[in-house]
Amino acid sequence: MKKVIVFAILLVIAAAAIYNLYPEKKLPGNTEIDYIVVKKSNRKLLAYSKQKLIKTYEISLGDHPTGHKVFEGDEKTPEGIYTINAKNPNSGYHKNLGVSYPNAKDIATAKLLGKDPGGDKIHGIRNHIGFIGKFQRLFDWTNGCMALTNTEIDELFTAVKIGTKIEIRP
């Protein structure tokens, strides 16, 4: 019986390693992503070029992703149409793409509540723990941002220009 348990544990470890290390389809070289759609309920980020879906990414969100972000700390991801307004290669989360949240309406809503609206980003895994790779997808762990693996944010970081439209759907 002990051998069966040890074998089962080793099998699970091997399967987990294969899952995490198995290469996924890469974004074609020199691709320019000009439109991003995030489907929060499906945990998907869809990257488009010239109205053609190029790649779909699995993402993690905040601990309470349902609904529109209203203020810093509500653990939600905003919903609506924004743009990519910044690129940070020295982020605390590998790299990140800034999202133009909050807009004027978002700021006004938070102000009515006496709160800071916060901000939002698409980012990789926290620095120094990037080895978790695809396992980051297994649960929602951000403060409301959209998280990818480090390899995936590297792809988007190169392919997305400042000003790219991002539509975040429920």
Known catalytic residue at 123: yes
Q: Tell me the β-bridge partners of 108.
A: none
Sign of the alpha-carbon dihedral angle for 125, 128, 132, 135: negative
Instruction: Say which of 64, 68, 94, 123 is annotated catalytic.
Output: 123
Catalytic hit among 68, 94, 128, 145: 145
DSSP letter at 134?
A: G
- Judged on CB neighbours under 10 Å (0-12, 13-18, 19+), 50 is exposed
Classify residue 30 as exposed, middle or buried by CB count within 10 Å of its CB (0-12, 13-18, 19+): exposed
Per the annotation, the verdict on 68 as an active-site residue is no
| 139-149 core/surface letters (b: 16 or more CB in 10 A; e: else) | ebebbbbbbbb
From residue 105, alpha-carbon distances to 1, 80, 113 in Å are: 63, 11, 13
Q: Which residues belong to the active site?
A: 123, 145
